[in-house]
Homo-oligomer: A and B are copies of this chain.
Amino acid sequence: MTYAERLAAVRAGMARQDLAVFLVPRADEHLGEYVPPSAERLAWLTGFTGSAGLAAVFATTAAVWSDGRYVLQLATETDPDLWQRLHITETPPPKFVADQAGEGARVGYDPWLMSEEQLARFAEAGITMVPVAQNPVDLAWQDRPPPPPAPALPYDAAYAGATSDEKRVRVAAILKAEKQDAAVISDPASIAWLLNIRGQDVGFTPLALGFAILHADAGVELFMDPAKLPPETRATLGNAVACAPREALPASLASLCGKRVRLDPVGSPVWFAERLRAAGAKLAPAPDPCLVPKSCKNAVEQQGARRAHLRDAAAMCRFLHWVETAAGHETELSASAKLLQFRAEGALFRGESFPAIAGAGEHGAIMHYRVTPQTDRAILPDELFLIDSGGQYLDGTTDVTRTIWTGPTLPTAEIRERFTRVLKGHIAIARLVFPEGVAGVRLDAFARAALWQVGLDFDHGTGHGVGSYLSVHEGPVSISPYLRPATVMEGMIISNEPGFYLPGAYGIRLENLVLVQRAAFEGAAKKFFYFETLTLAPFDRVLILPALLSSEERAWIDAYHARVLEEVGPHVPEEVRAWLVQACAALPG
C-alpha cells in the first residue's frame, strides 16, 4: 500500500465511525518510548520513524507533529503532499485540531494509546473527544506484525541489588502511606524493576510487555501472555505474584469496585481510568509508584553502573582511536558497526541501548539521526563526526556522545569556539553542587549559558534519567526546560548532554552519564548532592579553545582526562593506550 492508500483506508474507517478527525500518537498500550513493530502505527501511516510524534487525520487534510530533535527527519520521511509537518511546541496539536476541525466535530482517539492527561489537553481546547471501539489504523493495516513472543526471564538480585519481595513490600508501603488499596502499573519498565524480570519484546530495552496490579498487601497480579512466562520465571516470581493472561484484566479491574486505586494520569492509558470509573473504583491519580524507587539506584546498581561504564569506556576509547584514521574510507554505518563490535567484546553486553546516532558533517545536525543504508554517508576528512550510542549490560545501561574532528587540517575557529561553549555547558553541569529538592528545570540553563552568551542555543533537553539494565530514557527526572516537579535525588543516573546544531552543516553534542551522590558539608542545614561522572572517554582536544575556558573549567577537563587515562588505560590494547596518553594530555597553557 502507498502512503496515500493508507491514509484513504484510515479515512474510510473514520467515516464508518462518524469521525471528523482521528488521532494517531506514536505509542503502544504502555505509552513508552520503544514499541514493538505491531504498534508502529504512526510509522506505518506516515513513514515517520522518530520516537515521538502524533498524526491527526482530517477528512481531506492531515498533519503530523514531532519535536525539535526530529524536525529534519520528519521533513525527510513524510510526503508533503499528504502531510502538513508541524513542530509540537510551536503548533500545539490541541489548538490546531480545534481550529481545523471546528466546533462540535467528533475527534476520535484510541483509549489504549493516550493518557488521561493527553486527553484532557484536547478536551480543554474545546474538542469533543470520542473513544473508538476499533482503531481505524488497525483495521486498515493488513500485514500488521503479531505481538512479540519473547519470554520474560529472571533478573538476578546480584545485579538488581534487592529481591522482588523487598521491592514489592517497599512500594506497597508507599500505597499504604497514601491510603491506596492498589495501583495499576502499565509501564513494563516498572514491572521489570518491581518483579526482577527482563524480556526482549521491544528493541534496545529489555522489557517484557504486560500490565500489573500491585495491592497494598504487596501482592501482585501480573497480566502477561502465559507463553511468555517459563517455569523458571514463575518460580522466581513466587506465590505473591499471580499470573494471568491479558484477557483477565477487565475482570480484575471490575473487582476493584469501592477500592482506592492509584493510576498514573500521565503514564497510563486512559482506558484504565475509564474502566475503573465504570467499575465503581475510586481513582487516586498519582505517578506510577515504582518511578522514584526505580530511579534511585541502590549501592549494588551503582557499583554495577561503574563497572558497565568502565567496559563501555574501553570500547569507546578503542573506537575513538580507530575512527581517528577512518575519514575517507569508512561510513556512518561501518563506524556504527565497528563500535558495536568493540562493545560486544565486553563482558555482560546484551545489545545497544538505542540505535546509534552516527552523524557525519551535516547529518550531525539531525539530533536523533538514525543511519540507514539509504542515508549512509562517507565520513570525510576535515569535518565533524558526532556519535551518540550506548550499551545494555547486565549490570548497567550506558549512553555516551562524542563529537570528533576528522582532520587532517585544523577545524575553523568558529567550530572550535562553538565546541568549547558546548563543553563549558557540559562542565558547568558536571561541577554543580545543589541541595535536595531541586527540580531538573532549575539546573538546565547551566548547560546553555555559554551558548546563550553569544546568541546560540540547542533545541533539546540537557539530560534524561537512565535505567539500570532498563530504559535508556527513564523518568521521572530530567534536566530540561520543562517545568516538571520531579527533583534530582541521590542515586539517580542522568545524562549531561548539551549540544549545538547548525542545520545543513554540522552537529556538536557532548554527553556523559552522571550519578547523583551525597556531598558532605559539615553542619549544612540540608542535604547537598554532586554529580559523579560515570562515562570515561576523552573529548577531542583539537576542538577545544583553551583560552575560552576558566581556570576551574580547565582544571576539570584536565582532571577528567587524567582519570580516563588512569581508569581506562589498563583495559585497552597497547596502541590504544598510547593514543589515549596523547588524547588525555593536559590542555596547552
**CA separation between A481 and B455, bound complex, in Å?**
25
| Partner of A481 from B442, B456, B524, B525 at Cβ < 8 Å | B442
- Bound-state CA distance A253–B186 (Å) is 47
Q: Contact: B445 with A434, CB < 8 Å?
A: yes
Measured CB to CB, the nearest residue on chain B to A432 is B449
- Tell me the A132-191 residues at the B interface (CB within 8 Å): none
Q: Judge if A317 is at the interface, Cβ distance under 8 Å.
A: no
Give bound CA distance, A444 to B439, whole Å.
12
Given A452-B434, A452-B435, are A441 and B483 neighbors across the interface (CB < 8 Å)?
yes
Q: Which of B442, B551, B552 contacts A441 (CB 8 A)?
A: B442
Known: A445-B443, A445-B446, A457-B435. A452 touches B483 (CB 8 A): no
Smallest beta-carbon distance A55→chain B, Å: 26
Asked whether any CB of chain B lies closer than 8 Å to the CB of A485, the reply is: yes
Q: Is the CB of B485 within 8 A of A483?
A: yes
Q: How far is the CA of A439 from the CA of B454 in the complex (A)?
A: 20
Contact B439 A445 (CB under 8 A): no
Residues 503-531 of A at the B interface (beta carbon under 8 Å): 519, 521, 524-526, 528
Contact A449 B446, beta carbon cutoff 8 Å: yes
Does A374 touch B at the CB level, under 8 Å?
Answer: no
Q: In the assembled complex, how far is the CB of residue A522 from the closest CB belonging to chain B, in whole angstroms? A: 8
**What is the chain B residue whose CB lies nearest that of A434?**
B452
Asked if A453 is at the interface of the complex by the 8 Å CB criterion, the answer is yes
Residues 471-485 of chain A, each 1 if its beta carbon lies under 8 Å from chain B, else 0: 000000000010111
By a CB distance below 8 angstroms, the chain B residues around A432 are 449, 452
Bound-state Cα–Cα, A504 to B433, Å: 26
Q: Which residue of B lies closest to A450 (CB)?
A: B433
Pick from B453, B484, B485, B525: contact of A433, CB below 8 A: B453
Contacts of A235 in B (CB 8 A): none
Compute how far the CA of A448 lies from the CA of B524 in the bound complex, rounded to whole angstroms.
Answer: 15
Beta-carbon contact of A455 and B433 below 8 Å: yes
Contact partners of A483 in chain B: CB under 8 A: 439, 441, 483-485
Of A443, A445, A448, the most chain B CB neighbours within 10 A belong to: A445
Measured between C-beta atoms, what is the minimum distance from A39 to chain B in Å?
33
User: In the complex, which residue of chain B has the Cβ closest to the Cβ of A179?
Assistant: B126
Q: How far is the CA of A485 from the CA of B551 in the complex (A)?
A: 36
Complex CA–CA separation, A495 to B433 (angstroms) = 24
Give A505 Cβ to nearest chain B Cβ, in Å.
Answer: 13
Distance from A587 Cβ to chain B, minimum over Cβ atoms (Å): 17
Q: Is A348 an interface residue (CB 8 A)?
A: no
**A550 on interface, CB distance cutoff 8 Å:** yes
Nearest CB of B to A357, in Å: 22
Q: Within the assembled complex, what's the spacing in Å between the Cα atoms of A415 and B550?
A: 25
| Contact partners of A445 in chain B: CB under 8 A | 434, 438, 442-443, 445-446
Query: Closest Cβ of chain B: how far from A279's Cβ, in Å?
Result: 21
> Could you tell me the distance between the alpha carbons of A521 and B432 in the complex, rounded to whole angstroms?
29
Interface residues of A in 524-544 (CB under 8 A from B): 524-526, 528
User: Within residues 355 to 374 of chain A, which ones have a CB less than 8 A from any CB in chain B?
Assistant: none
Please indicate the chain B residues that have their CB under 8 angstroms from the CB of A449 in the complex.
Answer: 432-434, 446
A296 CB → nearest B CB, Å: 21
Contact B550 A454 (CB under 8 A): no
The interface residues of chain B lying within 8 Å CB-to-CB of A551 are 550
**What residues of B have a CB within 8 angstroms of the CB of A481 in the complex?**
438-439, 442
Check if A528 sits within 8 Å of B452, measured CB to CB: yes
Instruction: Find chain B residues with CB under 8 A from A448 CB.
Output: 434
Whole-angstrom distance from the CB of A447 to the nearest CB of chain B?
Answer: 11
Complex Cα distance, B436 from A457, in Å, reads: 11
Chain B, residue nearest A455 (CB): B521
Best-buried of A442, A448, A524, A552 by chain B (most CB within 10 Å): A442
A327 shortest CB reach to chain B, Å: 29
Query: Which residues of the other chain, B, contact A456 by a CB distance below 8 angstroms?
Result: 524
**Chain A contacts to B: CB under 8 angstroms:** 432-435, 438-439, 441-446, 448-449, 452-457, 481, 483-485, 519, 521, 524-526, 528, 550-552
Pull 22 A–B residue pairs with CB atoms less than 8 Å apart, ordered by A. Answer: A432-B449, A432-B452, A433-B449, A434-B445, A434-B448, A434-B452, A435-B452, A435-B457, A439-B481, A439-B483, A441-B441, A441-B442, A442-B445, A442-B481, A446-B446, A446-B449, A455-B521, A455-B528, A457-B525, A483-B483, A550-B551, A550-B552
**10 additional contacts, CB 8 Å, given A432-B452, A441-B442, A446-B449?**
A434-B449, A438-B445, A439-B483, A442-B442, A442-B445, A445-B445, A455-B521, A456-B524, A483-B483, A483-B484
